A and B are shown apart, each in its own frame.
Chain A
Amino acid sequence: MANLFASAGSASSVSGPPSGGDYAADSIFRGLAWLSAFLIIALTGYILWEILREAFPAMQAYGLGFITGTTWNVNTGQFGVLPEIWGTLYSSLLALFLGGIFGIAIAIFLTQDFLDHRVATVFRTIIEMLAAIPSVVFGLWGIFVLIPLLKPGAEWLHSQFGWFPLFSTDLAGPGMAPAALVLAIMILPTVAAISVDAFRRIPYKVKEAAYGMGTTRWEAILKVMLPTASSGLLAALVLGFGRALGETMALAMLIGNANQISLSLFSPANTLASLLASTFPEAGQLEVQALMYAALVLLVITFIVNVLGLAVQQYTIRKFEGKK
C-alpha cells in the first residue's frame, strides 16, 4: 500500500514556490523595465534641456526679435525666422487643406461600404505604403516629375490671373506649390488612418438607425456619420498638421530655400525644418546657436499642435468607450 504522505515535500515534485534565484531575477528584470520606462522621460527631458542650453546664447542675444526678424545673414550676424515661420505654417496649411479633404474622403471610401472587404484591405495597404516611401524619394520625385508637370499650369495661371495674390509670381523651379503638394501626399496616410479609426469607433447600429429612417447613403454619411466622428476627424487633421510642420527633407529639396514672405503659390519660400537641414551642415558657431533657437521655435510649435491633437484624440476615445 502506497504511503499517501511519501511525496509531500519530496524533491520529485514538479511544483514549488519560486526560489530565491527566481525572486532575484524578478527584481532585476523589473528594475530594468522601470529604468527603460524612466529612460523615455529622461531622454525627452534631456533633448529639451540640450536644445535649450545650446539655444540660450542666441536667445539672450536676439530675444523676441528673432521671431519677428526677416533677415538671415551670417556676415552681419542678423538672424530672424519670421519668413520661415510663415513658410512652415503656410505650406502646412495648404497641405492640410488638400491632404485633409483627400484623407477624409478616403476614410469614408474605406469604411462606408463602398468596397468589398478584401478590395478595401488592398486599397488600405496601398495608402499605408505611401507612408513607407522615404521623404527624400518624394523630394526626388518632386524635383523631376512634379515641378516639370506643374510648370505649364503655373505659367498659364500667372499670365491670366497674375493680379490674384496666390498666382502673383511665376514658378521658376522649386516653390511653395510643389512643396505643399508633396507635403499633402505625405500627410495623407496619417490623416486617412486616424480618420478610419474615428469612423470605426461609431457603433454599427448608428448607421443602421440612419438607414432605417430611409436616408440615402450620403445622407447617412453627411448627417450622421460625419458629425458623430467629428472629434476624431479633428484629431486626424491636427495630428496631420503636426506631421506637416516637422517634415524636412522633401521640403528642403522642393521649397527653394528663399528667405521671403509671399502669398504666391509659385514663389520659393522656406520652412524652419528645411532651414535647419540646408544650413546646419555648414554653419559656424554663431549660426549654430541661431539655428538651435530656430529648432526651439519649431519644437514649441509642433509640441503645442501635437499635444492639442492627442488631447482631441483622447477625448474621442473616451466619448465612445467610456473613461478607461
Chain B
Amino acid sequence: MSDFDLTRSSEAARPMPQLARQGFEARALKSGLLTGLTWLAALLAAVPLISVMYLLLVKGGSRLFGADFAEVLTGLPPAGFELGGGIGPAIVGTLVMVGIASVLSIPIGILAAIYLGVLEPRSRLANTSRFLAKVLTGFPSIMAGVFVYAVLVIHWGYSAWAGGIALAVLMLRTVVLAAEEAIAQVPQRMKDAAYGMGCTRTQVIWKVVLPTGLPGILTGVLLAVAGAAGESAPLLFTALFSNYFISELSEPTASLSILIYNFSGMPFPNQIELAWTASLVLVLIVLMFNILARLIVQPKV
C-alpha cells in the first residue's frame, strides 16, 4: 500500500502540472471554433425546411385558406388562361391510388415480416428475402414505374391500378423492413412462455407477437403510406394524369404530385398558385401520417 501513499512528502518538491482549463489555449480555441461551425451547420440545415414550410403556407395557404377554398378542394384543374379551378380530382386520385397500394402491400408485407422475424429468421429464404428488401429500398422509385409500365401499361394502358401497383411495389419494402424490426423487439421469453403452454406457432404469432409488436408495425405502415402519398416518379407513366374525377380504376388518374409537376412548368400564374396549393395539401397529408406514426406510443417490453 505504501506505493500508493498519496501523502508522500516528495509531492511538494515536484512541479505541479497545470490542470486548469485555459480559455485562450490553442486547443481550446480550436474546440470553440469547431463548436461554432457545428452550430452553424445545424442551423443552416434547418433553413430549407423552414423556408419550404413558410412558402407553402404563404403561397399555398392564400388559396387554401381563402374564400374559395371549397372550389380549390373540389374543382377541376383549370385549362390555359382560365382562372379559378381546383385540385379535386388530384386529391381523390392520390387517395385512391395510395388506398390500392396499401391494400396490396400491407398484408403481404406484414406476412413476409412474420416469416422473416418469427418463423424462420435464419433460413436461406429469409436471408435472401431480407437482403433483397434492403436492396429494393435503394432502388430509384422511378424503377417501380418502369417495371409497371413494362408489365401492365404496355398491354392495358394507363390506369389507377397501374399507379397503385407501382406504389405498392415501393411500399412493400418499407412495410417488410419496419414490421420485421418491430417483431424482432418482442422478447423471446414471451414467445417461449406461449410455446410452453402448447400454442401452435400461428397462435403464438396472433396472440403474442402481433399484439406486442403492433405499435411498431403501425408506425412502419403509416410511414410507408406517407412515403407513397408523396411519390411522383412511379406515377408519371403509370397513372399519367387526368383533368376529371376518377370514375373507373382502369382509366388514367390524376394525382397531387403529378399535378404539381405539370403545373410548375406552366407559364400561367393561376396554375403556379394551384401548384403551391396542391403542394400544401400534399405536405399536410404526408405530415399527418408522419405525425400519427410518431404519436403511437411504443410499449416498453
**B150 pairs with A132, CB closer than 8 A:** no
**A25 pairs with B202, CB closer than 8 A:** yes
**A137 pairs with B138, CB closer than 8 A:** no
What does the 1/0 interface line of A202-237 toward B look like (CB < 8 Å)? Answer: 000000000000001111010000000000000000
Main secondary structure of the interface of A (DSSP, over half): helix
Q: Which of B3-11, B79-87, B278-286 contacts A (4 or more CB under 8 A)?
A: B278-286
**Cβ contacts under 8 Å, B260 to chain A:** 136-137, 139-140
**A51 pairs with B146, CB closer than 8 A:** yes
A18-B200, A141-B51 given; A299·B230 CB < 8 A: no
**A53 pairs with B150, CB closer than 8 A:** yes
> Does B108 lie at the interface of the complex (its beta carbon under 8 Å from any beta carbon of A)?
yes
CA distance A33 to B206 in the complex (A): 13
A33-B119, A36-B111 given; A307·B135 CB < 8 A: yes
**Cβ contacts under 8 Å, A239 to chain B:** 138
Nearest B residue to A108, CB-CB: B38
**A136 pairs with B44, CB closer than 8 A:** no
**B129 pairs with A292, CB closer than 8 A:** no
Which A residues are within 8 Å of any B CB, using their own CB? 15, 17-18, 22-23, 25-26, 29-30, 32-41, 43-44, 46-47, 50-51, 53-54, 101-102, 105-106, 108-109, 114, 123, 125-127, 129-130, 132-141, 143-145, 185, 188, 216-219, 221, 239, 242-243, 245-249, 252-253, 273, 276-277, 280-281, 291-292, 295, 298-299, 302-303, 305-307, 309-310
Nearest B residue to A310, CB-CB: B134
**B125 pairs with A41, CB closer than 8 A:** yes
Given contacts A37-B112, A135-B230, A216-B30, 4 further A-B contacts (CB under 8 A): A37-B126, A127-B45, A130-B45, A239-B138
**B232 pairs with A134, CB closer than 8 A:** yes
* A37, A47, A309: residue with the most chain B Cβ atoms closer than 10 Å: A37
> Does B143 lie at the interface of the complex (its beta carbon under 8 Å from any beta carbon of A)?
yes
**Cβ contacts under 8 Å, B116 to chain A:** 37
**Cβ contacts under 8 Å, A248 to chain B:** 140-142, 232-233
A140-B279, A302-B139 given; A134·B200 CB < 8 A: no
CA distance A47 to B199 in the complex (A): 39
A102-B41, A246-B140, A253-B264 given; A39·B30 CB < 8 A: no
A109-B38, A133-B49 given; A273·B140 CB < 8 A: yes
* B27, B149, B199, B275: residue with the most chain A Cβ atoms closer than 10 Å: B149
Contact of A123 among B28, B42, B133, B136 (CB under 8 A): B42
**B52 pairs with A137, CB closer than 8 A:** yes
Q: How far is the CB of B230 from chain A (nearest CB, A)?
A: 3
**B31 pairs with A218, CB closer than 8 A:** yes
**A246 pairs with B141, CB closer than 8 A:** yes
**Cβ contacts under 8 Å, A34 to chain B:** 115, 119, 125
**B147 pairs with A139, CB closer than 8 A:** no
Q: How far is the CB of B292 from chain A (nearest CB, A)?
A: 12
**Cβ contacts under 8 Å, A44 to chain B:** 132, 135-136
Contact of A253 among B51, B108, B135, B261 (CB under 8 A): B261
**B172 pairs with A26, CB closer than 8 A:** no
> Does B214 lie at the interface of the complex (its beta carbon under 8 Å from any beta carbon of A)?
no
Enumerate B18-68 residues with CB–CB distance to A below 8 Å: 27-28, 30-31, 34-35, 37-39, 41-42, 44-46, 48-49, 51-52, 55-56, 59
Can you list 11 A-B contacts with CB-CB less than 8 angstroms, sorted by A residue number?
Answer: A37-B129, A130-B48, A133-B230, A134-B229, A136-B232, A137-B52, A217-B35, A253-B261, A298-B140, A306-B137, A310-B135
CA distance A57 to B226 in the complex (A): 38
**Cβ contacts under 8 Å, B230 to chain A:** 132-137
Nearest B residue to A185, CB-CB: B48
